[in-house]
Amino acid sequence: MATVAEAAAQEILPRFRNLGVGGISEKTSAIDVVTQADLLAEKHITAALKARFPDALIVGEEAYEADKSVVPALADAELAFVIDPVDGTFNFASGSPLFGTILAVVAKGETIAGIIHDSVLGDTVTAIRGAGAYLRRRGGQVSRLAVAPVVPLSQMAGLISWLYLDEPDRSRISTNMAKIRMPFSLNCSAYEYWLIASGRIHFIGHARLMPWDHLAGVLIHQEAGGFAAKFDGTPYLPAETTGGIILAPDEESWRMIRREIIG
């Protein structure tokens, strides 16, 4: 946790709303970007982890661009760390404070710990499998997290990210979101998982499952009492990148969202 906070303080915050010429570049499109903060924060965290765990597999979002074999390797790795140095990079590059750093720990194909750090506020959400999920404030206060109570679909607040959905799924799901009380979008998994694990919203859904976006958050949500499964009802595993996922307060709510929203 200290390493993640150090990377935020040294590499991310000094560049927030302060990216110089060449500090941002496109990856695949104008909304898929990378900044100096992403690259340097990932390098900082990777070096610290390698120093302490030299034999561990390190899966960084930015390093993945150079070696895509690291994601399938998560299925069998004895110990692995999965890093999203700046989740919500588009927000970060646009000057919005809705971004964070995500770190997941995987052992023998199972996520065993997760960290989501808010660089701006200094708060950190953590979970260890079987030990609950907690919010740790910058000032030292600690509180246990719990998902929202079960409510009817019409009273739910939630989001489905349809950025990577193809038609007709994209239009159908966006139309079905009118059935809930408050649909919204943050473009930041770090904040989405904090909101759902702390009971502020009821559900989230994603079609693409890159491990740095979801492994830590899914574990944190489950440790806060929630239910998660892929669109087909099967468990989400670390090496998977397709099949979609829904997170909800309980299994019955999950089934309702799958039926009424995903269709």
- Binding-site residue numbers for Mg(2+) are 61, 84, 87, 213
Instruction: Tell me which DSSP letter residue 78 carries.
Output: S
| Angle subtended at Cα 114 by Cα 25 and Cα 218, rounded to the nearest 5 degrees | 85
Dihedral sign, Cα of residue 21, residue 10, residue 38, residue 58:
positive
* Whole-angstrom Cα Rg for the chain: 18
Q: In 3D, which of 83, 75, 128, 76 has the Cα closest to residue 104? A: 83
Identity of residue 176: N
Residue 8 sits at φ, ψ, to 5 deg, of -65, -45
Contact 176, 220 (CB under 8 A): no
Give me the DSSP letters along 41-61. HHHHHHHHHHHH-TTSEEEEH
Question: HSE of 184 in the Cβ direction (CA atoms, 13 Å)?
Answer: 15
Contact 76, 57 (CB under 8 A): no
Q: How many other CB atoms sit within 10 Å of the CB of residue 51?
A: 9
Contact 213, 206 (CB under 8 A): yes
Q: Which residues are annotated as a binding site?
A: 61, 84, 87, 213
- Dihedral, CA of residue 240, residue 242, residue 243 and residue 245, to nearest 10: 70
